[in-house]
Structure 1
Amino acid sequence: MKEKVYSTIKELSSKFDFKNHNDADKLAASNVADILGIKRNTASRYLNELNKEKKVIKINSRPVVFYSVSSLSKTLNLELFTFKDVDEFLGHVQLIKKENNEENGKSYFNEVIGAKGSLKEQVRQCVSSILYPTNGLPCLISGETGSGKSYLANVMFKEAKALGIIGEEAPFLTLNCAQYADNPELLSALLFGYKKGSFTGADTNSIGLIEKADGGYLFLDEVHRLSGEGQEKLFRFLDEGKYLRVGDNDERSSVVRFIFATSENLEASFLMTFLRRIPIIVKLPNLNERSYNERKALITTFIKDEAIKLNKTINITRNVIDILLNTNFKGNVGELKNLIKILSASALINQGYNNKELEININHIPPKYLDMHIENNFDKALGVSGDLRITDNYEVVYEYDEENLNFTHTRNLIYNMKNNLKQYKLNRKSNESLDEYLHHEINTFIDNILFRTEDVEIDIKRNYINKIIVFISSFLKEKHNIIFDGALIHIISQYIYYRINIEINENELDESLKEIITKFIQSKYSYEYKNSSKLIKLLSTELDLSLTLMDELLITIMYSMFKSKKTNKMPKAIILAHGYSTASSLANVGNRLFEDNIFEAFDMPLDSTTEELVAEIKHYIKSVDTKEGLIIMVDMGSLMEIHNEIRKEVVGPVALINNVSTSMVLNVASELLRDTSIEEILEKIKENTIINYKLFYPENNRKNAIITTCVTGIGTAQKIKELLEEGFKDVQLEIIPYDYKRLKYNGINDECFKVYNIVGIVGTMNPNIEGIKFLFIEEILTEDGIEGLNNIFKNLLNQEQLKVLNDNIVRMFSLNRVINSITILNAENVIKLIEKAILQLENKIDLKISNGTKISLYIHISCMIERMVRQCPIKEYENINDFRKCHEKFLELAKECFSVIERTYNIEIIDSELAYIYDILASKIKKLDI
């Protein structure tokens, strides 16, 4: 209970503002007691114990109130934890803040990167603006978008407050003039305030920003959007500190320090009379004009900020640092900072929240920045000599290689892996840490080879190796159904190309190390090695290579990284792009981030033809199941017309999307893994990106299908499907489990009705699809239900086939059989318990429940019991709070009637599950009103 008291006072404290002294009783022990439903003296006892533990502050006012220390700034090192009243507490807090600000003569300008370099003069100007007596000098900060104008304005405000020039509670207000550029009257009203009745809608007197900012700073951003008239209205205030509210003749005064900001040419955008009243004009350089060390420091700072925010160690490869250092960011520092946030977010999605370390590599860079980097001739740019690491203590470390930086990445890969295996041999690494490190090394290698810029198309040897591996992979797919994805083929090709030129002495691996590698492969990658070894054997033969056990380990891990985990219920997705490895790179980013082989890549070198590409895609389509559909993402419009060649090869819908990008790939992957339909994916991408797309559905020969559905979710629908498959095994028919809510919402416009010829729906609740016959699952157990099935199939089957179907249904479907098929429960026992509960419910609500409805309840409640036993109940029910209010009596009676089931299976049936039971009753009993 003590923890609950502490949690409650923390929540109350986080929402409390001491400016409202009258509400302090919310922090009293009596309020905590009321919230938790305990006695006041019990709450008081626990709160006093927490005060002694220095977790809460005690204020001996009337009533006595408590305040959580965790709600105070972490920089406040309190010495006292008990105070006589609120004023004494607030005074103590203010004193500590003042001491903190004065400590060591701290200056916020010392935190500005470049304060002693390219921004030295700008900092001097800002300090002059702050210190000038009596109320400082107006300051105009000029610079390109993202150059740091708003940041510098904030630093000026903090510095003025730290120096005691403005009060601790002095305001810092901001107005973006661009938002009101077309309405100068509104802008004047916002700045100066207005008098009641001065214009339509002015129902009360209103103070303006100049009055609100009294004693502090007013920051006017994009001030060039202020009209000439608006600039003139500021003249008098800048000169005299006096102003009039709109519609008022009473003169007012205010002491405000102004900071203006603009990204435009000063002479062209401002009245000279306005500029003359601003004695300090600070010109900020763009990011490219900053020194190499300053750009590097900015990158380091932003990465460190992410490490602190995410509470993680961050490793970022030298390739990424090079791109961040040498890209021409049009959005300057702001764009650089946002890109680093994007990189951190992408890495976080890939590696998960639970990992203590976050690795950022080149695969997390959006393609447009890679293209910009290549255009800027990045191999001539200044580079760094090692990876950047932010440690768990938030220290910045550049990890330099001992080897020459031009040493081949492949040799480094093999050398580092060999060393780690030796560490593993000496028991200095666990099985898991070794595997993690090997993945890290391989990912770094992939970073380096996927984005090489040399002219690979004129390298005959490289192209020959690639063609050989493509040939071998096709052979393995046909003969053994072993699939090597396009990006993986490219990576293995590159590895073999570099590996050929490296001598590796097999004797360097002693017998004990070989044994360790063999055991490691067997324990971690036995299945993968079974498939990859076939490729390795054929590679050795076709290319006259002597590949070592180390090579086998590397290629096996690469294969495991690209092996698909996705189900056949997901649409297939491919990426087509011009260039040697553009598609492979994009696919690799998506596949690695989501740890699944979602995308197949088709690179299109400049000398290849569309006909060759189409042939490859057709070959791919024949090897996979496309009944769920196919998404094709292309890099330019010229590839949008290939649908004419491939549509007939695909069973399901085909979507073509142009302007493929990293963000698009990540969005598509995320939605595919959520089982989002192709139509919905297109709509969601369209919201965030300017795209052209085409969507095609099968025109002929649509397969006949039945949908199974359940209001409680896809899991039960899947079980109903498996049950029906036994009875319908002689019928040429697809049985598709489908989400009830999606069917209900989309109706006849749902994608499934365009892909299949839906002849009927079987389930626990009717979604009421116009023109589609529906059959309750329990009705299959009755003569009427069998007749209903006959009506569904009468146009698909002849009389003899219908008789076979009927015989199967009679033989296969009984209540016990249904329950045994769709749950793990003992049907006989659970039926007796449910029967007892339903009988009690009938008596309580004084209504007779029909046999058909009872069968429906038997099936539904059986599934519910299994869910509760497995501890995965359905917690979601639309408007559950409204349901509780409207059907409070039903919930009370149902809990009482089903208590026998709760005791027997040691479960607690939650309200949302009972609500679904009510829905079944309400759909069958028209007079139900409880």
Structure 2
Amino acid sequence: MNRIIKEIDREDKKNPYTDQELSDMLGIKRSDIVNFRKEKGIPNSRDRRRDLVMREIRAVIMETPDITERGLTDILVKNGYRISRSAVAKMMKEVETKGEFLNKKTENNDISIKKITEINKKIENDLINENVGFENLIGINGSLKEKVNLAKSAIMYPPNGLHTIIYGESGVGKSELANCMYEYAVKKKIKDDKSPFIVFNCADYAENPNLLISQLFGVVKGAYTGAGEDRAGLVEKADGGILFLDEIHRLPPSGQEILFSLIDRGEYRRLGESSNKRKANVLIISATTENPESSLLTTFRRRIPMFITLPNLDSRSVEERYEIILKFFERESKRINRNIIVTKEVLYALMNYKCKGNIGQLKSDIQVSCARAFSKSTKEDNKVIIDTDSLREHIKKSLPKENKILKNEKYDTLEDIYIDINEINNVNKNYFSKHEVNEIYRYVEKELKVLEGKNYSEDEIKNIFFDKLDKKFNQIKKNNIMSDRSEKQMISMNLKNETVEIVDKVFELLKNQYESINNALYPALAMHLEHAIQRLKDGKKIINPGLEKIKKSFTEEYEIARYVVGIVEDVINITFPDDELGYIAYYIHKFCMNKDEVEQKVKVIIATHGKVGIEMSKVVNNVLGLECTYGIEVPLEESPSDGVESAMLDIINKGFNTDILLLMDMGSLIILGDKIEESLGVRCKVLSRVDTVLAMEAGKAAVIEGKSLDAIIHDLKDSTNISVINQKNGDFHTKASENKENILITICLSGKGTAITVKDILEKQLKDMKHEEIKVVPLGMILENEFEDEIKQYEKEFNIIAICGTIDIGYNNIPFISYSDVMNGKGAERVVEILKSNKNHMEKDNHIGLKNLIYEELVLENIEGISKEYIIDTLVKKLEDGGFVDSRYILSVYKREAMGSVVISQKVAIPHGLPENVIKPAIAIAKLSKPIIWDNEFMVEVIVLIAMKENNKSEIKDLLFKLSDLEFMEELLKTNNKREIIELFSEEY
């Protein structure tokens, strides 16, 4: 055992030996090395280098406070450390806390504790005030986050900032960003409070260079006819501040050139001066709608180091567009000094219409709608109602037919908005905000104002309100279920101790009443009760117009709510009104169930190679608050057949007697569905994909919604691109063809009569060729804008082989057969050719062969693997460059890796992404010159990155079979070049 100590003593201190490395080097069991270390008090490899790494990280952060995780990782790697970005991120968080600086000794004796404290204080203040100046900019944490970071960098860069070009379409907010940059500079004390912000539109003087120069730089008396006195220019006025040059593309080349000396040396002359050089410290921010590459001089562009491109309105998220719309309505409410009601139909239209002028046009259109509505109101009205009649015609066109809002999850939360000029700051700025959704009282008050504004009777208001309340609680339930917040996280969200005590006691009460309580009730009820208590303390009323209906509909829940209120009153000595009991009863109704209510018709099983399925199941069950899914591990070291048997035994031991939905990742698990049906005598459907979102949807449908197996499959197929596997023969059937009847469609632009005639001819020809099973559907006259909708309806129920017509409309790559072919007797022959082609194509796709997926340019041998991320990035780049995957593939790989890595024999890692991001199937291979740490657990020598489509099941199976074979692995590790690697993977096995 002394050998262990010797090796540790002489190891590279930057990269200490892991227990596995010591085991491989000394021929001693890893477990024996671990026990010896612990006995001797020797830290593990991570802890042995911890102080060394932390010192280096501190030094870098002190020198470069704004360095990113990636930047710091790159520096450490260049300095000789083998370290992952995730490990660096954890250490950065420690270093950037006050406690880390004060409690750890620093090697730099020149840095005093006082100085370190000051630095930490600055870091804390920076974190608190990081968005000053930009706080009112919508999208600061979304689509504009990176843009704002660039803008901050331009302002902060020493000594005087970086000159900047802001590029974007008209109306995207270039001027607003420039203003925010100025505010940021002032509030961060980079610029003086009185420093100027001067705006100059270059278009105003584009055609007159002399006037342009005089405006920018000033003029001396007598410089030209009419120059009767000395006059300062905008540059002089902007000294010490910012000069914003709007529409800089309108500045002619001569105009751009006169700025060179100002940009280069901070010098300029007034028009008419020949010798006197003036000085000015001016930061230039410019804006343009034209591509700077073509509209500005190259010599000018080189002098402007910062370039910021702003997205157009269509590129912004629906959340951001909603906030922008709301902001403009709030401004108009203040302008006209009236409360405003905006109907949800108007909101839908404004969020969906094509706004070519971006935010600028959106603002104008909202102003027009408010003006129209205002003109219809009377002086006595204290509110203005913005309905669809107030909209311009081009906006109305975005509304669905019959004015019905489409059923789209993104717009589920759209409601009429009530903007009170006295409470504008309390309007829900983001209808996607989970915290706001739970604030039921504000919602109730706004909805009542909206309903009362529409002259409903009291009974009508109660009935409508009850329906709205039910919808609102569905949103609350959904938002809390999907929020992934634990009870401990909720407690840390500034909840008062008394609230936590109340909710804990309420949970104990409910556990005695219900067999299943969704965990999401904890945060939802905690926030609600905190609002209720504070509201009563503030002397505000709690109103529940649906109280009587709640009492009748949820009698049991209402009685339990009485006990809940008793708990609240005992803890805080406050009386709750009956209206509040109604809300609490609704929470109980939505989140609590008894066994008979949660009996599953379907069990959802997640089966994966490795522990990914088990961990994914835990995540899903924790988020949904119920045991909705069951994870199964297929051991990586077992052969495919043994792996299936292990999984099958695990499933049998669970004693399932219901239908089963099996989510599987790849390989030999295809046959698991057959075995389940044979052994358990239940129906089993297998889906050829597994990810957390899909598992969550399946679990929710099975348990919370209690749907049947067929209903779940139908819903998942409609909302995703999954494939259902026919277990009996292993074939993959996509949504387009699974168990669907083949049909031909005939269309005729002149009328249905001709289409029917062609139908009759085709049916006779098909019968003669013994294909009478193919149905022919005549559609007759179809207008172009209606054609797609009509065909989509047929695609839902049938597999469309081809479209016959006089004109090839070219829909969705469906084959076209001309009427002339039909009349010449060749129509049916074309149909048969298409069927054969489809069959051959499927067969070809399904049997590519493993050797045809290995390309020389995708095989890297004896490369130095700096880190896991470096290897993945390198291999995916190879795949992208070769046209095998799209740009989104790399994200799907990292998402999959985040759920857990697939490693075989502890030496081969198999990262992979989603099939929908694969253009052409391929396998990328990297054989390393020396092992690297993979997820702080394995020493990996080979990385096999799989880019497969869903119909490459046989190739996946062959690959896993090879990699699971010890003899194959030994030969793979002995290979010395690309040729040997390719030959080994290409051999029949």
TM-score (norm 1): 0.32
TM-score (norm 2): 0.30
Higher relative CO (Cα under 8 Å, sequence separation at least 6) belongs to 2
